[in-house]
Structure 1
Amino acid sequence: MQKPIWKRNLFVLSIAVFIAGIAFSEIMPFLPLYIDTLGHFSHSQLNFWSGIIFSGVYFVSAIVSPWWGKLADKKGRKLMTLRASLGMAIVLGAMGLVQNVWQLLILRMLQGVFSGFVSNANALIATETPKDKSGQALGTMMSFFTAGNLLGPFVGGALASMFSYRITFFITGLLLLIAFFLSLFFVHEEGFKPITEKKLESTRGVIRELQQPKLIFGLLLTTLIIQAANNSINPIVSLYVRQLMHGHGDVVFISGIIAALPGIATFLVASRFGALGDKIGTEKIIVAGFIGATIFFFLTAFVQNTWELGILRFLVGFTDACLFPQVQTMLTKNSPTPVTGRVFSWNQSAMYIGNIIGPLLGSFVSGLSSYSMVFIITAGIVILNLILFKINVVQNLLDNPTKS
């Protein structure tokens, strides 16, 4: 018996986002080292260029994502996955040819311009999948993308060791080209109906089309805060590990393991939590995620050794699986199909803004106080997010009593 098209799309795009996850993360471990080969930099200059080249892609992506989302609703989500994968294949491959940091910075910003492969793949799955299966489907996509992100740094490190930084960029471009051909030949967008109404071409028109605009924008704020909270600790994890190990032992190796643990946990349970949310209610899964994250972040401030840190970071991965993919599921279930691409692009922009704010917040707090205080502040941010989410959901029920 032949699989339904939505199941085949889910299978193919899960593989494609897994490949994309590897491609996006495999250059991260050696990017500062590659920058160092492009000129003669002092320590502070190298840190500056590493920071701006790393974050430049997020700034540009946050700005252009809504425009791509608008085009997705007019031309199709499959076309946007092809645009993103082919564009980034060329741009990332070209990074292996640069001769100075300015060229690399320009290409990183172009990478931001061509961003949106994963968000459009998610939007395609969200619109093609039956609503009662969307949580499980989006959870599966999240699991595969997370697995690729986890594997990427190991693949990138191995390739850079065997070949060179430049060759690794060429291979990364090839991986994204494979994702392009998978999407081109094996993904079929059946239910897409292009926007023909002029009123839906403007942001104001899309907002009018939303039945629960307050809920949608509340969920976008939830995404922003989730990403900011998760990323606030990224700049200080390795430094916290070094403090716990008192400067002895293989700090880099232990830090790498601990950094990977949340992703491993998310990979293991995201699709299961998605299926559970489809049965008992996505909102309940999100609330459980907020409560768990608050507890685990707070306890992390008081760990005494790397074992305790590792266990709590692993548990945080379970709460991650309760949050971001479930917010996407709620967006899917509360967005009209014709404007789903736009809504998902707004969510992508919110995620990128959180990616920018989070590390800045973590660095600022740790500079003023201590590493432990970063986790305490982050726990407070998660509580705030829980309160705002509950207010948003309750208000939505009051505004739409027939949906309760």
Structure 2
Amino acid sequence: MAQWKINLAVLWLGQFLVLAGMTMIIPFLSLYLQQDFGLTDEQEIATWAGVIFAGNFVTSFLFQPLWGKLADRHGRKIMLLRSGFGMAVVMVLMGFAQAPWQLLALRMLNGTISGFNPAAVSLVSATTPKDRMGFAMGLVQSGAIAGTIMGPFIGGLLADWVGFRPIFYITGTLLFLASLLAMFLVKENFDRTKAAAVPQISVWAGFKEISHIPQLTALFAVTLLIQFAMMSPMPLIPLYVQRLHGTTENLAFWAGFVGSVTGLSNMIASPLLGRLSDRQGAELVLGVSLVGAGLMFIPQAFVSEVWQLLVVRFALGIFLGGLIPSVNALIRKHTPDGMESRAYSFNSSTLSLGNVVGPIGGGVASGFIGIEGVFLVAAVLFFLNAVWVKMVVFRPAERRKPDSG
């Protein structure tokens, strides 16, 4: 098997385990706080659960660019292993937490040392043949989506079988094994001498340099918008499903099904649309996917049955599956040599920001315009972003004029 395919397979598994580990606590976090930490007030439990879950993404948003800078200087693989082994240890420590603030501190530490996702994407982009870039980006993205989907499901099953604390030990062990696989099987051709010769600039200076490339700022906005649009209705889905379903019978099942069906179709579509972008161009797939996703948000505001919502959200996931692989391929295309990891880290930071502000923004907006309004606002944002992408990303890159001297 070609080395780039080995890298892709191992990093797919790593992406799956990392994202599953981050989301596995969703089904039992409130119960964990209640039964193992002794909290009894529902408002207190809800507050702690929200803060603990968001804490991981807040610190991830802040620290991803630093790890990206170090990856450009010292190599992507070393940053991948740093993140993988570090998160394995922190995950195990979460099982020993004795107070909510300790669990929050460990979740924030986990976000601080994270960086597996941008390192994996950057490594894949650096080792994959250019004519297979879209397919590779789509496949590695499907690993992340699969982990996001299966994490809560696996967490719920394990909570019933082994209890809450052993889940952290199991997840930490799996992350450690995935990191070992990456250490021995993933190969990277990284010229440290060449990287050391590149003038070093601060994270902020690097951000300013990258932000002057209009294509990259538009692509970062796409990533933020995707995550915001996916996460903003999530806390409201159970209430919306209850209204459509008209009864509490099997409500948890239908709410979970509606919440995960988008990720399921996203996971299936990502490699296929990535392969299509290799043939037709990532710009075309990105533009069509943005418009298609915007269109799929509109009927969600007008459905009258749960099955209709399921169908529309499944179709939404297909279009969302064309976005992240296209964005990652285009980031590689427009990023200056030697700054690839930093660009992917900034993109990962915007994704983490979307994870934080999405549920908050959706919850606040629904108080004024209802959940139907949240869907319609998301549609408008996608259409506006499609126009911006058409004006910026589709614009031919400016060629440098040769030196006159």
**Pair in the same fold by TM > 0.5:** yes
| Counterpart position of 1:23 | 21
* TM superposition shift of 1:98: 0.8
* Whole-angstrom distance in 2 between the partners of 1:9 and 1:111: 24
1:270 aligns with 2:270: yes
| Counterpart position of 1:71 | 70
CA contact (8 A) 1:209 1:336 kept: no
1:7 aligns with 2:5: yes
Which letter maps to 1:104?
L
* TM superposition shift of 1:23: 2.2
Alignment coverage as a number of residue pairs? 399
* Whole-angstrom distance in 1 between the partners of 2:20 and 2:61: 21
Instruction: Tell me the TM-score normalized by structure 2.
Output: 0.93
Q: Structure 2: where are the runs of 5+ without partners?
A: none
Which letter maps to 2:140?
M
User: 1:201-246 deviations in whole A, cap 9, x for unaligned?
Assistant: 3347646976971111221122112211221111111111011112
* Whole-angstrom distance in 2 between the partners of 1:304 and 1:139: 33
Matches within 5 A, 1:61-100: 61-100=60-99
| Counterpart position of 1:115 | 114
Q: 1:42 to 1:196 in 2, by over 3 A?
A: same
CA contact (8 A) 2:25 2:155 kept: yes
CA contact (8 A) 1:134 1:332 kept: no
Q: Structure 1: where are the runs of 5+ without partners?
A: none
Which letter maps to 2:309?
L
Q: 1:132 to 1:401 in 2, by over 3 A?
A: farther
User: 1:304-351 deviations in whole A, cap 9, x for unaligned?
Assistant: 010000001101110111112210110012223411110000001111
Q: 1:401 to 1:231 in 2, by over 3 A?
A: farther
* Whole-angstrom distance in 1 between the partners of 2:315 and 2:308: 11
Matches within 5 A, 1:122-161: 122-161=121-160
| Counterpart position of 2:227 | 227
Which letter maps to 2:24?
E
User: 1:117-159 deviations in whole A, cap 9, x for unaligned?
Assistant: 1221111001111222111101011112222222222221111
Matches within 5 A, 1:1-400: 3-37=1-35, 38-193=37-192, 195-197=195-197, 199-203=199-203, 206=206, 213-394=213-394, 396-397=395-396, 399-400=398-399
Which letter maps to 1:27?
I
CA contact (8 A) 1:127 1:191 kept: no
CA contact (8 A) 2:270 2:325 kept: yes
CA contact (8 A) 1:13 1:121 kept: yes
* TM superposition shift of 1:191: 4.1
* Whole-angstrom distance in 2 between the partners of 1:201 and 1:8: 33
Which letter maps to 1:323?
L
SS at structure 1 position matched to 2:374? helix
* Whole-angstrom distance in 2 between the partners of 1:295 and 1:126: 31
Which letter maps to 2:331?
L
* Whole-angstrom distance in 1 between the partners of 2:191 and 2:34: 47
CA contact (8 A) 1:211 1:334 kept: no
* Whole-angstrom distance in 1 between the partners of 2:153 and 2:203: 41
Instruction: Tell me the TM-score normalized by structure 1.
Output: 0.94
Which letter maps to 2:231?
N
SS at structure 2 position matched to 1:370? helix
CA contact (8 A) 2:138 2:324 kept: no
* Whole-angstrom distance in 2 between the partners of 1:62 and 1:148: 19
Q: 1:340 to 1:136 in 2, by over 3 A?
A: same
Deviates more, 1:250-259 or 1:34-43: 34-43
Report % sequence identity. 35
SS at structure 2 position matched to 1:40? coil
